[in-house]
Amino acid sequence: MANMRAVQSLNTYAWLALDNIWAIFVIGVLVVFYWRGTWELLDYNLYPDDGAKSTWICVAIGNGGLFFAAMLQETFNKHMTSKNATSKWILWFFFNHLFSYVMGFFSVCHWRGIWHGLNHYTGKTDESYIYSLIVVLPNCVTRPGAVYYCLWW
């Protein structure tokens, strides 16, 4: 009996190791490729000569898209897990992947908008980097938003 538990434990650790290797060296790399490609396409195609316009359009697309998706998530989930969903597995598979790509695009737009906004409005200076760290650092040691709540009251 103890031998069987040892074999099961070894199998569990082997699958866990393979899963982590797959996630780190395949999925992680593919995510970086997706982010880099999307970011670069936006750099070259979304008002490359007008930093402010490019920034605000990205912020609007990213935040608007993420908000819209969050509002519709329960509706999507209800339709995809309904009683008839088992017969629609191809539709579910397609929609699930499409949703992931679209959410990835919205996330890249959000990050790019904030990043380019910081660069555009505060510049690429040591003071700007230090200020960004000072603003964010307190939230690393407490729950997000707690520091700002205390500062305003």
17 in a structural domain? no
E strand or H helix at 46:
none
Q: Is 15 part of a structural domain of the chain?
A: no
pTM: 0.76
Backbone angles phi, psi at 91, to 5 degrees: -60, -45
- Tens digit of pLDDT per residue, the chain (153 long)? 556 566 668 788 889 999 999 999 999 999 999 999 999 999 999 999 999 999 999 999 999 999 999 998 888 877 777 666 566 777 778 888 898 999 999 999 999 999 999 999 999 999 988 888 887 777 777 776 665 554 444
pLDDT at 7: 60
pLDDT given for residue 75 in this prediction: 85
H or E segment at 86?
Answer: none
Does any domain span residue 23? no
What is the three-class DSSP state of 130? helix
Host H or E run for residue 87 = none
Distances (CA, A) of 47 to 44, 50, 115: 8, 5, 16
Sequence-distant (6+) residues with CB within 8 A of 122 are 128, 131, 132
Evaluate whether residue 55 is within a structural domain. Answer: yes
Query: Does 2 map to a domain?
Result: no
Please report whether residue 138 resides in a domain: yes
The pLDDT, as a whole number, for residue 24 is: 94
For residue 76, tell me if it sits in a domain.
yes
- Residue 10 belongs to a domain: no
| Residue 99 structural domain | 30-152
Total tally of structural domains belonging to the chain: 1
